[in-house]
Amino acid sequence: MDEQLTAEPARARRPSGRDAKRASRAARAAASIPYITRSIPVFEVLGEEGLATLEHNADTILEEIGIDFRDDPEALEIWKAAGADVNGERVHFARGMCRELVQRSAPREFTQHARNPARSVRIGGKHTVFAPAYGSPFVRNLDEGRRYARIEDFRNFVKLAYMSNSLHHSGGTICEPVDLPVNKRHLDMVYSHLKYSDKAFMGSVTAPDRAADSVALANIVFGPELDDPLTGRPKTTIINLINVNSPMTYDATMLGAAKVYARANQATIITPFILAGAMSPVTVAGTVAQTLAEALAGMAFVQLVNPGAPTFGTPEPALVLYTMAALARRLGVPFRSGGSLCASKIPDAQAAFESANTLLPTCLAGVNFVLHTAGWLEGGLAMGYEKFVMDVDQAGMMHTLLAGIDLSPNGQAIDAMREVGPGKHFLGCAHTQANFENAFYRSPLADNNSYEQWEAEGSPDMTKRANALWKKMLAEYVEPPMDAGVDEALLEYIAKRKAAAPDSNV
Amino acid sequence: MDEQLTAEPARARRPSGRDAKRASRAARAAASIPYITRSIPVFEVLGEEGLATLEHNADTILEEIGIDFRDDPEALEIWKAAGADVNGERVHFARGMCRELVQRSAPREFTQHARNPARSVRIGGKHTVFAPAYGSPFVRNLDEGRRYARIEDFRNFVKLAYMSNSLHHSGGTICEPVDLPVNKRHLDMVYSHLKYSDKAFMGSVTAPDRAADSVALANIVFGPELDDPLTGRPKTTIINLINVNSPMTYDATMLGAAKVYARANQATIITPFILAGAMSPVTVAGTVAQTLAEALAGMAFVQLVNPGAPTFGTPEPALVLYTMAALARRLGVPFRSGGSLCASKIPDAQAAFESANTLLPTCLAGVNFVLHTAGWLEGGLAMGYEKFVMDVDQAGMMHTLLAGIDLSPNGQAIDAMREVGPGKHFLGCAHTQANFENAFYRSPLADNNSYEQWEAEGSPDMTKRANALWKKMLAEYVEPPMDAGVDEALLEYIAKRKAAAPDSNV
């Protein structure tokens, strides 16, 4: 029986005292937990009536307006066979058709396996997984300013993510290694994730054969135990970002990659790419309905290609985010969104305000997979070294928030108040001594010293302290162990594939 | 009949589409709305069982441990007469006694009148009021760094708050004018609020006679219409911050000021002053129970002094904040907390992360009166000019968040999607044209330009842009009109009081 289909529903119950205690202990011990399991409720902005209206509107879009599936005759055949109304490349769907396809077979939650089993992540339900930012052509640091990213930067960020306890995932195209040819750089990226980290990672989506390479490389590492005895299906070892050409259009590149991954039982995140007012109406309710319609069509397509293959949906501004998360729960699929997003070019106060105003709603909304948790600058154009460790620090705080409130007798602390009483202080009392160590999240970057001490240290701002931290981390990095035969097989596969075609930048 | 007692309960209902539309229109038109009325639900972390446990613990503290009321024999007499168990200065309360005193007569919500009636604020229920930060001895700006505050700074911040549409209140001791004697500076502060702004403000609490001066000055301005025909009571024109000497102790200064204000039907915010681990146990549940116990004793005391006088409670970190807000709703009193708090010395990324991580929970928790919305640095030691306008900008965004989602047909925007269709863009369509203007909050400080343009402008960080903004605002400031006779009367009162005693710095 499929564990993925029988997993408990995503609906949050009120956490019990025991849950809270366990979670808070985990968060504190948290040297390293593989992923977060929330102990606080989700925040919802709309009630039943509002959510039902938006679902109705998504069905109206799918039925009346339809979705284009471009330059992929096989995709149109698949839809025709499923009973959709196909006119040229435009596909119209009967009300409820996409929803039913998704709910029939898409897992509510699933495990993405990491090469270190202790670091495998659960995607969906009450779980939250933090991953680095994705897709920047530039990097920025305090020493060099902004420049094009190179494969060495890519490796650095894989190492930093590996060392960051509050990131649970290695991410995907953390930055574009523009010093390598476009048609081959995916091999070096996937290799870096597999070699320099043991956390779960994301594959290439820029062409179907690059998706196939990603699967092949992962299979070399996971080879001996490729099937998951719990699900009776191939293990899901790669998550992949499938962009919609919003509005309401899928193109052949993304459809090709989605088919490769779905057939290998690898997970697809269907990601409407929407800037409200450009790719969608300029209102929240309009944007949400369109996003849902686009994601439904993509997820339903994945289920037609391989029923049961993990797939889930996405987006961003806080009100959209709260609402989409609620709609994903109603649909019964995991939800990807948010992160530490900002438009600022540098890791200044603007970057921090904007990032916090995305990351906190991300966590309160109950997002399951948080791409772009760390490093994001300039709307995704640049990956910041200082921003990366600053964001990781914030992700650590979110662990404490999501662990909720300890209502054990020790947490209630009535005896401590009896011991101390009015007008005294709690600094030396037994309860404080016993709990102080783990009571607060300790930021490695926030300066909470006196003004005088801070001044004596040269009045550094947070960016300066972050600069010192990432350098220290890279200096202390130690590679996770990898079987020499596996490494050899990976390098051999890569060498063969690189030799098979000339370098190209398309 | 007392409007304040019959006002609708604070419990949030699911907002209807019409509410959301109205609120979102208001937020957009919001050139200037007098206060926020939320259209989104509040966020609660604990359920009934957890909240009831914490209420039970607060009663245990009040019954078994008790609260000290120091150096104020009248306060002890008041408690004795009410039936409390008074031993020396320690007062013990039967279970439920304080709660019953508060619920019997404290208003669930009330109006604080401003001298410009269009700017009067509603405190409590679904309303949120933003006020500047409070109490810093230092100011900081980019040009001068950090230095002691002067009365000129105080006036500057009153003017900036007056000009800031997203602040609804003028605040109180925005910074300490240390160039004026301690025993007289309250006169200049209250005058500045009355003269340079027409928004509601806060009085002095540092001595009972300074509280009396605050009431006298306000009465000069509100004199002709001192009674509120709606409540049959004196108008509430001043809100005042009454600190508890945590743990579990009230001192004569604060009790004296509280009595003056309560007897004049002015509002008191009972504020436990708690740093967990020092003035309370180091756990969330312990801190919450103690905070509730302290606040209950103070609010019950105010109700004994003058039943019906507005009074409400307070605190800070996100989990404490969500929980205390829920407990205040259950008790049926308004709730003060939060703001844009941070430990950072400068308005850098640390300041912004920390401020956003307090302001957003403040808004989601449903805080009614938000002191410290703007300017806070260094844990309250410094008031920042740049930080002030940065925080005001963030407060503006919160207006948009709290306005919720427009579910009108225009908000749903189905016709826009019909018009545009797959693969096209929405930039030029009629719906976007009609809605673009008001669709987003527009930050005066965030830089969303291209990298190249930002670089051409000298790569300014947010602090630099904020420096230009507050200077521009002060240059453009125009005083609100005030009757010349009233101004004369204020100055005469102040001159007489200043002549009545020698300058003193205690």
What does the pLDDT average to over B113-117? 96
Instruction: Calculate how close chain B gets to A447, using CA atoms only, in Å.
Output: 6
For residue range A165-204, what is the model confidence (pLDDT) as tens digits?
A: 999 999 999 999 999 999 999 999 999 999 999 999 999 9
pLDDT computed for residue B314 by the predictor: 67
pLDDT at A221 over 90: yes
pLDDT at A5 over 60: no
> Which residue in B421, B13, B14 sits closest to A51, CA to CA?
B14
For the ranges A58-72, A404-418, A442-456, B449-463, the lowest mean pLDDT is seen at: A404-418
Instruction: Please report how many Cα atoms fall inside a 13 Å half-sphere around the Cα of residue B123, on the Cβ side.
Output: 35
Instruction: Calculate how close chain B gets to A385, using CA atoms only, in Å.
Output: 14
For the ranges A130-139, A488-497, B76-85, B333-342, the lowest mean pLDDT is seen at: B333-342
Contact residues, A window 254-273, toward B, CB-based 8 Å cutoff: none
> Which residue in A228, A229, A232, A301 sits closest to A261, CA to CA?
A301
pLDDT at B26 over 80: no
CB B420 within 8 A of CB A280: no
For residue range A86-97, what is the model confidence (pLDDT) as tens digits?
A: 999 999 999 999
Residue A378 contacts B, CB cutoff 8 Å: yes
- Coil, helix or strand at residue B64: helix
pLDDT computed for residue B12 by the predictor: 36
For residue range A383-438, what is the model confidence (pLDDT) as tens digits?
A: 999 999 999 999 999 998 898 889 999 889 998 888 888 988 888 899 988 888 77
pLDDT computed for residue A316 by the predictor: 61
A139 against B22, higher pLDDT? A139
Instruction: Calculate how close chain B gets to A276, using CA atoms only, in Å.
Output: 8
Contacts of A63 in chain B (CB under 8 A): none
> Which residue in A101, A84, A36 sits closest to A309, CA to CA?
A101
pLDDT computed for residue A279 by the predictor: 86
CB B165 within 8 A of CB B30: yes
The beta strand positions in A36-89, using DSSP E, are 36-37, 67-69, 85-87
Q: How far apart are CA B398 and CA B170, in angstroms?
A: 18
pLDDT computed for residue A29 by the predictor: 42
pLDDT at A62 over 80: yes
- In the numeric block, the tokens 């306060």 are attached to B75
Contacts of B323 in chain A (CB under 8 A): 405
Residues 6+ apart with CB under 8 A from A254: A205, A242, A243, A244, A245
Residues 6+ apart with CB under 8 A from A358: A316, A318, A321, A338, A339, A340, A341, A342
pLDDT grade for B31, boundaries at 50, 70 and 90? low
What's CA A24's distance to the chain center, in Å?
A: 22
CB A115 within 8 A of CB A194: yes
Q: What type of residue sits at position A462?
A: M
For A234-271, give the secondary structure using H, E and C: ECCCEEEEEEECCCCEECHHHHHHHHHHHHCCCEEEEE
Q: Find the helix or strand (DSSP H, E) in which A433 lies.
A: helix A430-439
Contact residues, B window 291-310, toward A, CB-based 8 Å cutoff: none
The beta strand positions in B133-218, using DSSP E, are 138-141, 145-148, 201-202
pLDDT at A81 over 80: yes
What's CA B94's distance to the chain center, in Å?
A: 32
B447:A355 CB<8 A: no
pLDDT computed for residue B476 by the predictor: 96
pLDDT computed for residue B10 by the predictor: 33
Give the residue from B19, B43, B45 with the most A CB atoms within 10 Å of its CB, the best one to mutate: B45
- In the numeric block, the tokens 């990032």 are attached to A355
CB B136 within 8 A of CB B172: no
Question: Between vectors from CA A436 to CA A430 and to CA A441, what angle results, nearest 5°?
Answer: 165
Q: How far apart are CA A359 and CA A339, in angstroms?
A: 5
Contacts of A66 in chain B (CB under 8 A): 422
Residue B209 contacts A, CB cutoff 8 Å: no
CB B114 within 8 A of CB B120: yes
Cβ atoms within 10 A of the Cβ of A430, count? 11
A451:B381 CB<8 A: yes
For residue range A316-374, what is the model confidence (pLDDT) as tens digits?
A: 678 888 988 888 899 888 988 889 999 999 999 999 999 999 999 999 999 999 999 99
A4 against B383, higher pLDDT? B383
Select the residue of A248, A277, A283 nearest B411 (Cβ to Cβ).
A283
A420:B247 CB<8 A: yes
pLDDT grade for A315, boundaries at 50, 70 and 90? low
Residue B206 contacts A, CB cutoff 8 Å: no
DSSP states along B350-374: HHHHHHHHHHHHHHHHT-SEETT-S
Q: How far is CA B151 from CA A330, A333, B188, B215, B372, in A?
A: 57, 58, 8, 21, 19
A57:B344 CB<8 A: no
Q: How far apart are CA B189 and CA B240, in angstroms?
A: 14
User: If you measure CA to CA, which chain B residue comes closest to A391?
Assistant: B353
Cβ atoms within 10 A of the Cβ of B471, count? 15
A423:B248 CB<8 A: yes
pLDDT computed for residue A314 by the predictor: 67
Give the residue from A288, A353, A457 with the most B CB atoms within 10 Å of its CB, the best one to mutate: A353
Structure tokens at A10: 């995503």
What does the pLDDT average to over B231-246? 93
pLDDT computed for residue B6 by the predictor: 29
Q: How far apart are CA B422 and CA B425, in angstroms?
A: 8
Select the residue of B286, B349, B412 nearest A349 (Cβ to Cβ).
B349
Residue B150 contacts A, CB cutoff 8 Å: no
Residue B460 contacts A, CB cutoff 8 Å: no
Handedness of CA A224, A229, A234, A237 (dihedral sign): negative
Residue B223 contacts A, CB cutoff 8 Å: no
User: If you measure CA to CA, which chain B residue comes closest to A290?
Assistant: B417
- What phi and psi values does residue A176 have, to the nearest 5 degrees? -85, 120
DSSP states along A263-298: HTT-EEEEEE---BTTTB-SSHHHHHHHHHHHHHHH
Residue B182 contacts A, CB cutoff 8 Å: no
Handedness of CA A472, A476, A480, A485 (dihedral sign): positive
Contacts of B462 in chain A (CB under 8 A): 344, 348-350, 353
pLDDT computed for residue A297 by the predictor: 97
Instruction: Calculate how close chain B gets to A19, using CA atoms only, in Å.
Output: 12
Instruction: Calculate how close chain B gets to A268, using CA atoms only, in Å.
Output: 22
Structure tokens at A167: 């990131």
B8 against B209, higher pLDDT? B209
CB B343 within 8 A of CB B324: no
Give helix then strand counts, H and E, for chain A: 19, 19
Structure tokens at B10: 């604070």
**Chain A with chain B: Cβ pairs closer than 8 A:** 318
CB B17 within 8 A of CB A50: yes
The beta strand positions in A22-108, using DSSP E, are 36-37, 67-69, 85-87, 90-92
DSSP states along A181-223: -TTTHHHHHHHHHHHH--SBEE---SSHHHHHHHHHHHHHHHG
- Quote the DSSP letter at residue A316: -
Q: What is the mean pLDDT of chain A?
A: 90
CB A271 within 8 A of CB A241: yes
Q: How far apart are CA A128 and CA A367, in angstroms?
A: 6
Contacts of B344 in chain A (CB under 8 A): 446-447, 462
A90:B57 CB<8 A: no
The beta strand positions in B256-359, using DSSP E, are 267-272, 311-313
Select the residue of B53, B68, B353 nearest A352 (Cβ to Cβ).
B353
B356:A360 CB<8 A: yes
A350:B446 CB<8 A: yes
Structure tokens at A347: 């890791």
Q: How far is CA A174 from CA A376, A478, B54, in A?
A: 10, 20, 45
Contact residues, B window 112-141, toward A, CB-based 8 Å cutoff: none
Contact residues, B window 38-77, toward A, CB-based 8 Å cutoff: 40-41, 43-47, 49-50, 53, 57, 60-61, 64-68, 70
What's CA A396's distance to the chain center, in Å?
A: 15
Give the residue from B412, B415, B429, B432 with the most A CB atoms within 10 Å of its CB, the best one to mutate: B412
What's CA B336's distance to the chain center, in Å?
A: 6
B45:A245 CB<8 A: no
For residue range A223-248, what is the model confidence (pLDDT) as tens digits?
A: 867 888 888 899 999 999 999 998 99
- What phi and psi values does residue A183 have, to the nearest 5 degrees? -80, -5
Q: Find the helix or strand (DSSP H, E) in which A10 lies.
A: none
pLDDT computed for residue B233 by the predictor: 93
- Coil, helix or strand at residue B34: coil
Q: How far apart are CA B65 and CA B272, in angstroms?
A: 16
Q: What is the mean pLDDT of chain B?
A: 90
Sheet holding A67-69, edge to edge: A85-87, A90-92, A67-69, A249-250
Q: How far apart are CA A77 and CA B17, in angstroms?
A: 41
Residues 6+ apart with CB under 8 A from B438: B28, B29
pLDDT at B138 over 50: yes
Q: How far apart are CA B125 and CA B350, in angstroms?
A: 32
pLDDT at B2 over 60: no
Strands A138-141 and A382-384: parallel
CB A267 within 8 A of CB A369: no
User: If you measure CA to CA, which chain A residue comes closest to B422?
Assistant: A248
Select the residue of A17, A412, A424 nearest B57 (Cβ to Cβ).
A412
Instruction: Calculate how close chain A gets to B282, using CA atoms only, in Å.
Output: 6
For residue range B117-128, what is the model confidence (pLDDT) as tens digits?
A: 999 999 999 999
B352:A347 CB<8 A: no
Give me the helices (H) in B61-184, please: 73-82, 97-105, 151-163
pLDDT at A17 over 90: no
Q: How far apart are CA A298 and CA B173, in angstroms?
A: 57
Give the residue from A254, A350, A362 with the most B CB atoms within 10 Å of its CB, the best one to mutate: A350
